[in-house]
Structure 1
Amino acid sequence: MAYILGFFIADGFISNDFQTIGFAQKEKYILEQIRDELGSNQPLYQNKQTGVYMLYLNSKVMKNDLMEIHGVTPNKSLDIKFPYVPEVYLNHFIRGYFDGDGNIYSRGYLVSFVGGSLDFMTVLEHHLKARGFDVYLTKKEKHIRLYMSGRKTIKEFYDWIYHDKGLYLKRKFEAFPDKNMDAETLQNAKLKRTKQAVAARKKAFIDEYRKSYCVHQACETVGITLGTYFRWLKQDKQFSEEFYQIKKE
């Protein structure tokens, strides 16, 4: 249930006018598993244009529980609060939210979450930091993103969210690297800190950003954290000018 709640906060919705809640997801099987866990035999519907499957559940009890116990509203994407989840179930809740609104990047050592509620994302950041994860929160327009990176960090995150797993999205589970390795044997990358090495990384970052227009892809390519990127932006005038010049192009 903790997983389903996290998944619902990411990919679910509540009807304003009817006693209905629903889930939307491209992977059909995960909605079938959620439906079975909730004891429903409701058929799934597919949007033929987008390929997204929909699971609608007509339940006044579920709708009231989500709204009154967990504080979920029809406008949840912007105002959702982080619900109370007992510590023993927190990894399942965050795995559910990750399966809906999280991502692991192709090279395997960068994980992100996205949300529209600053309150929710700030508490998520707090919980992950309390587990010892080094995370960075960024806000751009209406979207808040949270990132963590590093080979050892990502393996430790994997070990935590998939511990005693029940429901999970296979696509994201399979994207994690180092599944059979002990996190204690891994190390996050240690980069050379000479002036020449740092200058080379800054140049590589600018070159990658010029191609992809994606800060997160540039960080991943160069092997730096978002914290390093923000420090460069704040402390290096030349780097800052080159970066913002690209944004204007």
Structure 2
Amino acid sequence: MPRNKGITDDMIIEMYKSGMPYKEMVPIIGLSNRAIYNVIAKHNVTVNREPSSGQPRKHKVNEDFFKIWSHEMAWVFGLFVTDGTVSGNAHSINFAQKDERILKLVAKYMEVAYVVRPISTTRTVPILVINSKEIKNDLANLGVTSNKSLTLPFPDVPEEFMGSFVRGVVDGDGWVQDRGYVMNITTASYNFAEGLYNIFKKWNLKTEITNQLTNSGRKVYRVWVKGKESISELSRLIYNNCEENYVYTKRERLTQWIKETEVKYFVEIC
């Protein structure tokens, strides 16, 4: 069987070293178990398991990451509910993001080897692959399953971390007008849209929900924040506990109406 386009020996070795089972490597790489084993052996990588065993080494990932709330966890979780997927037939999750800096931050926070499915003719953004049954189960406990797009509930996020969670959602599926007067977040789940709308109302922002049909006939919902006062207040709330974990262009657009003195304060606390 031919190797999938864009997959290099180095990528195969990195997947192996991350602890990914052969059965999960096969569809990504496009080679058989034995062919993958031969690539690894060819480069004199220490082989700790035979292809037929199916037993991976311990995953290089913090499997408690989604058990304990923190601002980093809340941001990653917000990204995941918008740009992530849970495998239906394997113990793995995937993050898709066109900005690889964001994927590398996720890998850093989750203490996971940076294993990425490259861009191809059928995929326009890189995908970070994380293998862990424990993490998959923790996400299910938070309401995120393999069929989340239509049924995703708005999660029970502690108030202390809500701003960081919403920042992750904005970084994942948010659109911000270049002039900074309008922002919206798109979702196929009405429950998630309604929950986000209620948060924006609680924050006293000018907000509304609209819906439309896609070309395929699927209904999607957009949750809006409008007006420079509301946009500025939103930015104050979501960038209040950040370091490097945000999309640069979105932050620039969301904060452009904040007064210069406030921006200086903003930079110092972030």
Q: How far apart, CA to CA, are the structure 1 residues paired with 2:211 and 2:92?
A: 32
Identify, as 1 or 2, the structure richer in helix. Answer: 1
Query: CA offset at residue 28 of structure 1?
Result: 0.4
Q: CA deviation at 1:182?
A: 6.3
Given the alignment, which residue of 49, 59, 62 partners 2:132? 59
Q: What is the SS of the residue equivalent to 1:91?
A: helix
Q: Choose which of 23, 43, 47 in structure 1 pairs with 2:95.
A: 23
Q: TM-score, normalised by structure 1?
A: 0.70
Letter in 1 for 2:192: F
Instruction: Report the Cα offset of residue 87 of structure 1.
Output: 0.3
The structural deviation recorded for 1:164 is 1.6
Q: Give the superposed CA RMSD.
A: 1.4
Give the Å deviation of 1:178: 2.4
Residue 180 of structure 1 and its aligned partner are, at CA, apart by 4.2
1:151 matched to 2:224: no
Residue 170 of structure 1: aligned partner: 248
Counterpart code for 2:174: G
Q: Which residue of 1 aligns with 2:108?
A: 36
1:104 and 1:170 map into 2 onto residues whose CA distance is: 12
Structure 2 counterpart of 1:80, one-letter code:
L
State the SS of the aligned residue for 1:140.
strand
User: Aligned pair 1:45/2:117, yes or no?
Assistant: yes
Shift of 1:171: 2.1
Q: Are 2:85 and 2:94, in contact at CA under 8 Å, matched by a contact in 1?
A: yes
Q: Gapped runs of 5+ residues in structure 1?
A: 184-249
Q: Secondary structure at the match of 1:35?
A: helix
The verdict on how the C-alpha distance between 1:182 and 1:140 changes in structure 2, with shifts beyond 3 A counting, is farther
Residue 58 of structure 2 corresponds to none
Structure 1 154/181 Cα, relative in aligned 2: closer, same or farther at 3 Å? farther
Aligned residue type for 1:160: L
**Correspondence 1:79 to 2:145:** no
> Distance between the aligned counterparts of 1:26 and 1:179, measured in 2?
28
Q: CA deviation at 1:134?
A: 1.4
Following the alignment from structure 1 to structure 2, what is the Cα–Cα distance between the partners of residues 52 and 180?
35
Deviations 1:23-73 (A, max 9, x none): 001000100010010011132222133441110001000000001x21111
Number of aligned positions between the proteins: 182
Q: Distance in 2 between matches of 1:43 and 1:56?
A: 6
User: Amino acid of the residue matched to residue 77 of structure 2?
Assistant: L
Tell me what 2:186 maps to.
114
Alignment check: 8 A CA contact 2:206 2:227 kept: no
Q: Could you tell me which amino acid in structure 2 is paired with residue 153 of structure 1?
A: S
* CA distance, structure 2, for counterparts of residue 182 and residue 140 of structure 1: 40
Q: CA deviation at 1:91?
A: 0.3
Amino acid corresponding to residue 257 of structure 2 in structure 1? D
* TM-score (norm. length: structure 2): 0.65
Shift in CA distance, 136/20, structure 1 to aligned 2, threshold 3 Å: same
Match for 2:137: what amino acid?
Answer: N
Note if contact 2:174-2:184 (Cα within 8 Å) is conserved in structure 1: yes
1:5 has 2:84 as partner: no
Counterpart residue identity of residue 91, structure 2:
Q
5+ residue gaps, structure 2, are 1-72, 214-218, 263-270
Opposite residue 240 of structure 2, the aligned amino acid is H
C-alpha deviation, 1:169, in angstroms: 1.2
Q: CA deviation at 1:8?
A: 0.1
